[in-house]
């Protein structure tokens, strides 16, 4: 990965909540793809909750999302825009599930570049936060060989749906974006190995209420 300009320690996230005021049924009913956001920043607490829904721990070994053989190939990158998250600098951060921390690996607001790699999709350039689901296929391949692709993509779907529902429960909007240029994404968020970006998911306060 591209290192930050200067050494940055890992950032501890607030503990995620495991209770809420919206039922699963209400979140499912409210879920919709939202592509137009207000310029309201999100909080670190909200970022923590969203990341936890994608790949957080729910025990010593297991996570919020199922994984074939618990091989956990998914990696989550938070691309934070300028003033996107209160008290967090614009840049790209890797989410580490077990300590529930962020590791900064690239500084600056990359939304314009990300949108450009995604056929100019404006939801990406205007959202305060973009969450990228990427996968290290080797983790699953060593165990499942020719079923690897199928399993990894199923897992990305599980994670994205968790995020959709968590966002809906928090009154936020999100849209799973699969249309982007793979090479362009590698140039922007380069990660070594057999690593692919699968989804870019902008998140923000909807410009119009979705309820
Ligand atoms: C695999 C996949 C790829 C998608 N890619 C995009 C995309 O590139 N851009 C976008 O705006 N929405 C994208 N979507 C969201 C769909 O357009 C959206 O789910 C669909 O229109 C149904 O609307 P709903 O999610 O509000 O129910 C994608 C959804 C899936 C499942």
pLDDT tens-digit map of 3-48: 444 556 799 999 999 999 999 999 999 999 999 999 999 999 999 9
Nearest CA, atom 19, ligand 1: 33
Q: Which two tokens stand for residue 189?
A: 């968020």
Please tell me the predicted confidence (pLDDT) of residue 7.
58
How far is the centre of ligand 1, averaged over its atoms, from the C-alpha of 169 (Å)? 19
The pLDDT score that the predictor gives to residue 94 is 94
- Output the CA–CA distances (angstroms, integers) from residue 134 to 74, 115, 192, 196, in the order listed: 6, 17, 12, 5
Name the residue of 125, 178, 196 to mutate for ligand 1: max ligand atoms within 8 A of Cβ: 178
Under-50 pLDDT residues of the chain: 1-5, 210-211
Atom of ligand 1 nearest to the CA of 118: 8
> What 8-state DSSP symbol labels residue 145?
G
Q: Look at residue 209 in the predicted model and tell me its pLDDT.
A: 55
Spatial contact of 74 and 155, defined as CB atoms under 8 Å apart:
yes
Tokens of 71: 């091989």
- Give the residues surrounding ligand 1 with Cβ less than 6 Å away: 32-33, 35, 121, 175-179
pLDDT at 9: 79
Q: What is the pLDDT of residue 48?
A: 98
Cα 27 to Cα 163: distance, rounded to the nearest angstrom:
11
CA of 177 to the centre of ligand 1 (A): 6
pLDDT value at residue 195:
84
Q: Is 202 exposed, middle or buried (0-12, 13-18, 19+ CB in 10 A)?
A: buried
**Residue bearing the CA closest to ligand 1, atom 30:** 176
The reported pLDDT for the residue numbered 72 is 98
Q: Which domains does the chain have, with CATH numbers?
A: 23-204 (3.40.109.10)
Ligand 1 nearest atom to the CA of residue 32, by list position: 26
At residue 190, the pLDDT reads: 74
């Amino acid at each position: 990965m591209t290192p930050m300009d200067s050494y940055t320690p890992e950032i501890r996230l607030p503990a995620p909540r495991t209770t809420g005021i919206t039922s699963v049924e209400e979140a499912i009913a409210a879920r919709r793809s939202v592509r137009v956001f207000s310029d309201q920043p999100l909080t670190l607490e909200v970022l923590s909750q969203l990341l936890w829904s994608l790949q957080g721990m729910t025990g010593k070994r297991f996570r919020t999302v199922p994984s074939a053989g618990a091989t956990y190939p998914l990696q989550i990158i938070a691309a934070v825009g300028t003033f996107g998250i209160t008290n967090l600098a614009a840049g790209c951060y890797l989410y580490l599930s077990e300590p529930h921390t962020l590791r900064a690996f690239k500084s600056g607001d990359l939304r314009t570049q990300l949108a450009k790699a995604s056929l100019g999709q404006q939801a990406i350039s205007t959202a305060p936060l973009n969450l990228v689901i990427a996968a290290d296929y080797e983790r699953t391949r060593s165990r499942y060989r020719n079923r690897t692709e199928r399993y990894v993509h199923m897992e990305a779907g599980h994670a994205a749906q968790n995020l959709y529902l968590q966002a809906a429960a928090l009154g936020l909007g999100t849209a799973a974006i699969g249309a982007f240029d793979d090479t362009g994404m590698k140039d922007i968020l380069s990660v070594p190995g057999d690593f692919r970006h699968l989804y870019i998911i902008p998140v923000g306060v909807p410009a119009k209420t979705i309820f």
